[in-house]
């Protein structure tokens, strides 16, 4: 049995992983620890096989007054926890980084592949990237470091951009039909991937994602369908969106493309336990909805798993 310690109390990802692993009581035990004060330094890490480090500042800010805090929490605290874990004989350290470390890829269509060099454009991304670099220096055969760079994570009860998009889908009668491509990761797919990383004692860099890419307008339509609504997708704003997209952070967030090449996310064992359709219904309606609906809503955002990503 593997004993796992998750840093960060009340973390959406941390609590979700703990709940997912609880389905296998014969294989894992899970504890949680807060890093908000100095008490964690007195805890005994030697009894744990794995530490999943999800504690950190999760939102993006350009406020210069926040800069020092980002590096103190996301970089310095991460490395300090890992150093303690290594010194006390923990076998594996799993770090939740982010696709944001890449900033805006040089590739104009938003593709991130093995040749894409991380170039963060905010404190959050840079603090995560610097934490990665510190962890790599600690990695050894006896102390395995696995770094995960997930794209946008979503699921029932999540925070961030997905709930905002879901709110629009429940309210708007129409939405711009603009061609874009995003990598996303449903929380169940992430949890299963982390379980496999633990089981296989992985080390290195990983970029998990859903099997299907997401087009924002189709995601809006899928969400609306879960609530019995029909959103009209229209292309009247394609021209203005294309003109102002490079200049607007808001438009870039909604209609920009940012996606991993499928080769970056390959793994010997299938971890995408939820299709895009299932994941949207779960996010909107909960677990019971799949049983009552037969598992799928009526259309799909993008065909999968085959994808043309060069």
Where are the chain's structural domains? 2-149, 152-185+211-259+274-310
Q: Do 2-149 and 152-185+211-259+274-310 agree at the fold level?
A: no
Check residue 307 and give its pLDDT. 36
Query: In 3-state terms, what secondary structure has residue 295?
Result: coil
Helix segments in 8-160, DSSP class H: 12-21, 67-70, 78-87, 123-138
Contacts of 78 (CB under 8 A, 6+ apart): 53, 56, 95, 131, 134, 135
The H helix count followed by the E strand count for the chain is 11, 12
Mean pLDDT, consecutive 10-residue segments, the chain of 310 residues? 95 97 97 95 97 88 81 96 98 97 84 94 93 98 98 94 94 95 97 98 98 96 96 89 86 93 96 96 83 45 34
Check residue 286 and give its pLDDT. 85
Opening angle at CA 16, ends 15 and 22, nearest 5: 90
Check residue 303 and give its pLDDT. 33
Read off the pTM.
0.91
**Predicted confidence (pLDDT) per residue in 212-227, tens digit:** 999 999 999 999 999 9
Check residue 301 and give its pLDDT. 34
CA distance 305 to 213: 9
Check residue 84 and give its pLDDT. 98
CATH architecture of 152-185+211-259+274-310: Alpha-Beta Complex (3.90)
**Predicted confidence (pLDDT) per residue in 142-199, tens digit:** 999 999 999 999 999 999 899 999 999 999 999 999 999 999 999 999 999 999 999 9
Check residue 308 and give its pLDDT. 35
Q: Is the peptide bond before 137 cis (omega within 30 degrees of 0)?
A: no
Q: For 2-149, CATH number? A: 3.40.50.720
């Amino acid at each position: 049995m593997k004993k796992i310690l998750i840093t960060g109390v009340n973390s959406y990802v941390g609590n979700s992983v703990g709940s997912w692993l609880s389905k296998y009581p014969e294989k894992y035990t899970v504890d949680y620890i807060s890093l908000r004060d100095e008490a964690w330094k007195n805890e005994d890490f030697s009894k744990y096989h794995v530490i999943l480090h999800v504690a950190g500042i999760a939102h993006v800010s350009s406020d210069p007054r926040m800069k020092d805090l980002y590096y103190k929490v996301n970089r310095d605290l991460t490395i300090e926890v890992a150093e303690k874990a290594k010194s006390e004989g923990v076998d594996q350290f799993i770090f939740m980084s982010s696709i944001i470390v890449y900033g805006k890829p040089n590739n104009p269509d938003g593709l991130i592949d093995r040749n894409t060099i991380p170039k963060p454009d905010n404190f959050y991304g840079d603090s995560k990237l610097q934490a990665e670099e510190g962890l790599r220096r600690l990695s050894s055969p006896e102390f395995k470091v696995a770094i995960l760079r997930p794209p946008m994570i979503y699921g029932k009860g999540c925070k961030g951009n997905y709930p905002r998009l879901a709110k629009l889908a429940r309210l708007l009668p129409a939405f711009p039909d603009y061609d874009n491509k995003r990598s996303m990761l449903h929380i169940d797919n992430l949890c299963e991937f982390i379980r496999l990383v633990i089981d296989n004692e992985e080390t290195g860099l990983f970029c998990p994602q859903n099997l299907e890419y997401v087009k924002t307008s189709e995601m809006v339509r899928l969400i609306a369908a879960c609530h019995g609504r029909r959103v009209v997708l229209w292309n009247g704003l394609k021209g203005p969106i294309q003109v102002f997209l490079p200049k607007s952070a808001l438009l870039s967030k909604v209609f920009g493309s940012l996606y991993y090449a499928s080769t970056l996310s390959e793994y010997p064992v299938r971890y995408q336990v939820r299709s895009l359709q299932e994941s949207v219904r779960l996010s909107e309606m909960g677990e019971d909805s799949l049983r009552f609906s037969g598992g799928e809503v009526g259309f799909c955002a993008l065909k999968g798993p085959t994808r043309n990503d060069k």
